[in-house]
Structure 1
Amino acid sequence: MTALLFSCKSTQPTANKASDKTVEITFLHVNDVYEISPLEGGKVGGMARVATLRKELLQKNPNTLTVLAGDFLNPALISTFKYEGKSIKGRQMVEAMNAVGFDWVGLGNHEFDLDEADLQKRIDESKFNWLASNALQNKKGVLEPFSKTVDGVKVPFPKTAILSFKNAQGKSVKMGMFSIVLPSNKKDFVYYGDFFESAKNTYDILKNECDFVVGITHINKADDAKLAEMLPDVKLLMGGHDHDNMIETVKGVVIAKADANAKTAYVHTISYNTETKTATIKSDLRKINDSIPQDSAVATVVKKWDDIMDVAIVKAGMDKNDVVAEVTEPLDGRESSMRNGHTNLGDLIAQSMTAAASKPVDCSVFNSGSVRIDDQISGKITQLDIMRILPFGGKIVEVAMKGRLLERILETGLKNKGNGGFLQWDKITHDDAKNEWFINGKLLDVNQDYYVSIPKFMMEGKETNFGYLTYQNPDVIKVTESDEKDINDIRNDVRKVLIAYMKKM
């Protein structure tokens, strides 16, 4: 059953001079936001600047909605720490978003990085609305909507929303919304309906109940385009999942995504003519940078959590201000780079894994998705930078394996181009024309044994399309692990591996 949530906004006269017959609705749209603080030395991003832009837009048009199109509860360095005896797990983000005044969010795949209990806590702490058209909670085989507890009452996430808006002259319009997420994060407590089918079903209901429909999507841009072709009467798809800004029109449907971490935001203005029953859309990409003042109330919340993280870093035995190296060429940790090709940062991490091995390895590989900084960094590199690069940490193991398994691993990495399962490596080359692999300069022999340095996370089959890669795989000969109790063995934490290597540069 589709849940309809009715909401109404009354408006005061606006600063613009829209026609008496026109109702304008403004969206402030961001997606894939993992950091509440500004990045690049404070120059870009930051929730306090988003709040300032929101207030500016609301002053111009009270019919303004602030929307986040999925991925905000994880990952972030601070989420890996504890506060008041409990794992933070996105608590800082919800508090910052509440302070900003977000109106609506869609689910992203990273929301389900949290376990069921922690996710429920974050949902209950939120003051914004959640929309979920294809994701349901799986309670031991019983499917029901996720819900937020408000004053002791469970309020289920709607599959659709219908919002009413008026202009200064009292002309009104009804807008429908749906929200879908891709099923890339499989969890026992989550059921994903087919997002194409769910979008079509919700649209078919909404189109008879409102004047026009928009969608919040957290899917690949290719699927956004396919969805637009399926539903050409939808006016706007506010997307996430892809981390670089883009905008295109497919079959008359505007598809837009902003840059991750609120480096940019899209401002969409929909002008609906109540007489002709037509809508026009204007989309402006706004840079979120130091030209925008920081809202003081939100900045206070951000500083609170920055201070909490500082204390946690010290407790973790790290020195955030310790300079581990100084580099002149920017280290490229942008997801658009690392998930589609090899970067100097990827090379550096893989080389550090090779150097840290207990005995010489034939090669080293790791998943690009473990790098989360989504930025380029240069100059003095501190331990805090390393922790932001690799917030999950994680153990590095050494695996003796058959060549045929190594070949399969490398081929899977290539097939994962565009997602976190794309591999970075050391002592490996690939001849694209012949599709041949070379290990330390020699053609890979599927019948030979190889000694490989690799994250334990990958060896547990947890990365995309690597389900076959486990300790029980018959082509795994032996796995050598460090003693977790040995605080001097840097292989217990890839961040310490990278720090040790960079200090020797």
Structure 2
Amino acid sequence: MKFTFKYILISVIAFSIFSCSKESESTLPIPDKSIKTLTIFHINDQHGQLNNFAKIKDIVAKEKMETNVLLVCSGDIFSGNPVVDNHPQKGFPIIDLMNKTGFDIAVIGNHEFDYGEAILKDRFNQSQFDWICANVDMNNSEIPEPAEYKTISIDNLKVTFLGLVETNGKDNDIIPSTHPWRVQNLTFEKYQNVISNYAQLKETENSDLYVALTHLGESTDFNIANNFPYFDLIIGGHSHTKVNTTINNIPIYQAGSNLNYLGKIELELEDKKIKKSTYTLIDLTNYQDYDSTLKDLINMYNVSANLNEVIGFSEAYHNRSSVGSFYTDALRNEMNVDITFQNTGGVRSDLDEGDILKSEIYSIDPFNNGSVTYTMTVAEIKNFLKGSKASVYYSGVLIEQENNTIIIKNKNNQVLDDSLTLTIGLNDYIPAVYDNYFTKTPTFLSNTTAETLINYLENTTAPINYTQVNSYFKYQ
């Protein structure tokens, strides 16, 4: 009897266990195989900054263990860090780091052209990621022609990227915001004139996702979403803004500038549509983990640049306006001219109090612009300032506006006659952009404007203090 009772009891327990197990299995959710997941990491406008690439590689590597990942760049890779801009092979370090970080694709930014055609050709050939841009034709230059778009297949996903760059560099031409003399052999189109050619690209490529990878700026991305709504999402650059918004049901993202942030777009896709989208803007300053091998390489590039030589002393912190006043005054003294001008957009950094390092001057003036002088009458100078409405810093005179009239005075407060001829010193970007006003043949000097500033500081013992100087002018 005992044996029979124990046998029955064991059988009942076993039946209950297996019954519960089968019931539990039947209630587990079945994965929806029609839903595809993808994470897109993005940066823009890094301008040569290197130090956070080791952190980005760590973040991306960890995400790749979880899902499909793409890493993309919305342009302006160059110009802004002397370690990159003054490397013996200009731009080489940042492309090297982007290769090793694992970038998949980049759109051309306006500052990609700053080094000139030959160097851009070398950087394209160095890149292990794809470059795209639909509104540029490299013509007979030696720069490899970028694809208008690129479809990337990853696992069971197809993602198509269309590239577009801004063309607001010159009033009387269609070029990006770069030195006009460095894109003379290239042809650009306004994005509005080409974008409609790719309205059906998602269908023709049979893609799961269609992305506009742009270097156009925040407001233009909004315009595309409203007027050219072909895209599932827009990843932008150029305006150095942090953007996380939706316009006309199209998500639009931008991740600030200078490699301070990494954008993370987490997508669930179903039937070639975004079912769910989550966005995170990762503050890389607060992120602590990094890839040690890449960090060692970054340190090597920084140390070998040898840009920490002390060349002067600043008595106070200078904001960019004060830097502009110093900049033009130093150029005028070093170039031995009557007046100097500097475009405000060409002053790219402030100046800290204390020792001035050579690297700081290259950060203030990163574009390797040449130095030129012109002879111009006071009337011609007024015509330039009034007609161009350029924002400039200046030195050597006093410039005022009364109603619609520009008045130029010497430092003794005497009004200069329109017929008076003066010598003008400036970077060669300004006359290249405003060639309607600089029609004479200039005198080309041997140094860049950054080298001219460095020479000035090395040849003077006086400390720098322009905090009370205001030499800004823009015709209103």
Determine the structure 1 residue equivalent to 2:394: 425
How far residue 204 of structure 1 moved from its aligned partner, in angstroms, is 2.0
Determine the structure 2 residue equivalent to 1:347: 325
Matched, 1:270 2:267: yes
Single out whichever of 98-107 and 184-193 deviates more from structure 2: 184-193
How far residue 97 of structure 1 moved from its aligned partner, in angstroms, is 0.9
Amino acid at match of 1:391: P
Could you say what secondary structure the match of 1:260 adopts? coil
Matched, 1:368 2:366: no
Determine the structure 2 residue equivalent to 1:239: 236
- How many residue pairs end up in the alignment? 419
Determine the structure 1 residue equivalent to 2:363: 388
Determine the structure 2 residue equivalent to 1:493: 452
Could you say what secondary structure the match of 1:387 adopts? helix
Could you say what secondary structure the match of 2:138 adopts? strand
Q: What per-residue deviation string (whole Å, max 9, x for no partner) do you get for residues 392-414 of structure 1? A: 46665554422222123223553
The structure in which a higher percent of residues are helix is 2
Could you say what secondary structure the match of 1:297 adopts? helix
Q: What per-residue deviation string (whole Å, max 9, x for no partner) do you get for residues 299-351 of structure 1? A: 222223223321xx5xxxxxx3316224443x334xxxxxxxxx222122123
2:161 to 149, 165, 177: 177
Determine the structure 2 residue equivalent to 1:439: 408
Distance of 1:253 and 1:376 partners within structure 2: 40
Runs of 5+ consecutive residues of structure 1 not aligned to the other structure: 1-16, 39-45, 148-155, 167-171, 314-319, 334-342, 416-421, 473-478
Distance of 2:367 and 2:313 partners within structure 1: 21
Determine the structure 1 residue equivalent to 2:440: 471
Conservation of the 8 A alpha-carbon contact between 2:366 and 2:450 = no
Determine the structure 2 residue equivalent to 1:404: 379
Amino acid at match of 2:376: M
How far residue 214 of structure 1 moved from its aligned partner, in angstroms, is 0.9
After superposition, the CA RMSD in angstroms is 3.5
Could you say what secondary structure the match of 1:139 adopts? coil
Cα distance 1:165–1:101, how it changes in 2: closer, same or farther (>3 A)?
Answer: closer
Distance of 2:450 and 2:158 partners within structure 1: 57
Amino acid at match of 2:38: I
How far residue 137 of structure 1 moved from its aligned partner, in angstroms, is 2.2
Conservation of the 8 A alpha-carbon contact between 1:414 and 1:423 = no
Cα distance 1:60–1:227, how it changes in 2: closer, same or farther (>3 A)?
Answer: same
Determine the structure 2 residue equivalent to 1:64: 69
Determine the structure 1 residue equivalent to 2:420: 449
Runs of 5+ consecutive residues of structure 2 not aligned to the other structure: 1-29, 167-174, 465-476
Could you say what secondary structure the match of 1:119 adopts? helix
Q: Normalised by the size of structure 2, how large is the TM-score?
A: 0.76
Is the radius of gyration larger for structure 1 or structure 2? 2
Distance of 1:130 and 1:207 partners within structure 2: 22
Matched, 1:285 2:281: yes
Matched, 1:258 2:255: yes
Determine the structure 2 residue equivalent to 1:340: none
Conservation of the 8 A alpha-carbon contact between 1:383 and 1:499 = no
Q: Normalised by the size of structure 1, how large is the TM-score?
A: 0.72
Cα distance 1:71–1:325, how it changes in 2: closer, same or farther (>3 A)?
Answer: same
Amino acid at match of 1:130: W
Quote the sequence identity (%): 19
Amino acid at match of 1:385: E
Determine the structure 2 residue equivalent to 1:22: 35
Cα distance 1:428–1:466, how it changes in 2: closer, same or farther (>3 A)?
Answer: farther
Cα distance 1:470–1:300, how it changes in 2: closer, same or farther (>3 A)?
Answer: farther
Cα distance 1:457–1:348, how it changes in 2: closer, same or farther (>3 A)?
Answer: same
Determine the structure 1 residue equivalent to 2:59: 53
How far residue 77 of structure 1 moved from its aligned partner, in angstroms, is 2.2
Q: What per-residue deviation string (whole Å, max 9, x for no partner) do you get for residues 221-266 of structure 1? A: 3322222222224122211222233344332223332222211222
How far residue 80 of structure 1 moved from its aligned partner, in angstroms, is 5.1
Distance of 2:191 and 2:129 partners within structure 1: 23
Distance of 1:265 and 1:273 partners within structure 2: 26
The structure in which a higher percent of residues are strand is 1
Determine the structure 1 residue equivalent to 2:12: none
